[in-house]
Amino acid sequence: MSNWPIMPLIEAADIASGITLGRKTKETDLFTVPYLRVANVQDGHLDLDEIKQIEVTRSELNKWRLAAGDLLLTEGGDLDKLGRGTCWREELPLCIHQNHIFRVRLELDTHDPEFVAYQVGSDYGKAYFLKHAKKTTGIASINKKVLSVFPLISPPLKEQRQIAACLKAQLAEVDKARQAAEAQLRETTKLADAIVFGSIRSGKTTKHNLGEVLQEVKRGIGDSWADYPVLGATRDGLAPAKEPPGKKPERYKPVFPGTVFYNPMRILIGSIALVDDDDTPGITSPDYVALQGRSGMVDSRWFYYWLRSPLGEQCILSLARGAVRERMLFNRLAEGEIELPDYDVQVKASAALAALKPMRHAIESKINDINILPQKILAQAFEM
């Protein structure tokens, strides 16, 4: 590869940024068309779940209309958005792009769009953008000048197509492996739900308000706050918090083994966590709701999986008042109803649920390893 010629990208392509949102026009003959935002352009693929529309003039439509093979690259923002991109494959019959996305239209008789897209998305490409980007705290961006002089590795077109086809096949196999592992992870969730449902159906149950069988953790950790990691709750469960303690760290709540806690602003999307017996004790934001099952009434692990199951989701939704960003504090959750099996039945189910944890961790570790493979494959292809 070191013998292949390298040229500035501008010598092989026409580079243009897209339409500026909110610009004014005096023309009245306008067309409503879909446009791509930064959120639509991901690393190696497009996310077209939400496509917005804009009114444009005929000249604007002709200027920014995307064509098959156009390479779309984001100018930046967060570091992970820097130079992020993929090829346009006419996923929509008509589409343009906004000004924070660069459109790179290659000379197709000399350069293969897939080959260039893989090259830009490799460590080789990312290293160039990181080196030449304009940076502020946590934010980076590139401009047209930086993109224009990108050092494009340019083997003969036939070799470009061969390399692109090989990489496409390898990445497709990686994607198959990822999908298989993610399916395994979903099966463990279904199994957890089945264990919870089975415990409820196995014998006598009693109905309670949640406030009767749970107790809230209200008191802060105090002066020993620095001895513990700060923990957060995500849709995947327990995770290190993104932010360090605030101005009053002594008010952070202790979340020790047997504690369930959740983000009251995000419980509707499942941001709920459990500190299990083998987890490191920690503290969490005083804005979070932390709770434990009352002794001899509710096994906390069983309750955690119940809360994340369809039964728990149904309970949460029944308490919601329809606001997009409402806070569900403990006093609201306490109004919900739960059908409790005998405590001994909960404990037995809880042991079965605990056995799922190492299985999930093994699958999650496998997924993490798989997610690293695409960059390894691309790095080997474009190693200089």
Over the stretch 64-78, which tens digit does the pLDDT of each residue have?
999 999 999 999 877
pTM of the model: 0.80
For 263-294, what is each residue's pLDDT tens digit?
A: 999 898 889 999 999 999 999 999 999 999 99
Provide the pLDDT for residue 105: 97
**CATH fold of 205-341:** Adenine-n6-DNA-methyltransferase TaqI; Chain A, domain 2 (3.90.220)
Yes or no: say if 290 and 259 are a contact pair by the CB < 8 Å rule: yes
Q: How does DSSP classify residue 104? A: E
Provide the pLDDT for residue 291: 97
CATH topology agreement for domains 6-155 and 205-341: yes
Strand order in the sheet with 71-74: 13-17, 101-106, 71-74, 85-87
Higher per-residue pLDDT: 223 or 77: 223
Provide the pLDDT for residue 259: 98
Return the domain boundaries, the chain.
Answer: 6-155, 157-189+343-384, 205-341
CA 378 distance to own-chain centroid: 22
Has domain 6-155 been given CATH number 3.90.220.20? yes
Provide the pLDDT for residue 47: 93
Relative to beta strand 76-78, strand 139-141 is antiparallel
Higher per-residue pLDDT: 203 or 187: 187
Task: Please give the average per-residue pLDDT across 134-143, as a whole number.
Answer: 84
- Residue 322 confidence (pLDDT) above 70: no
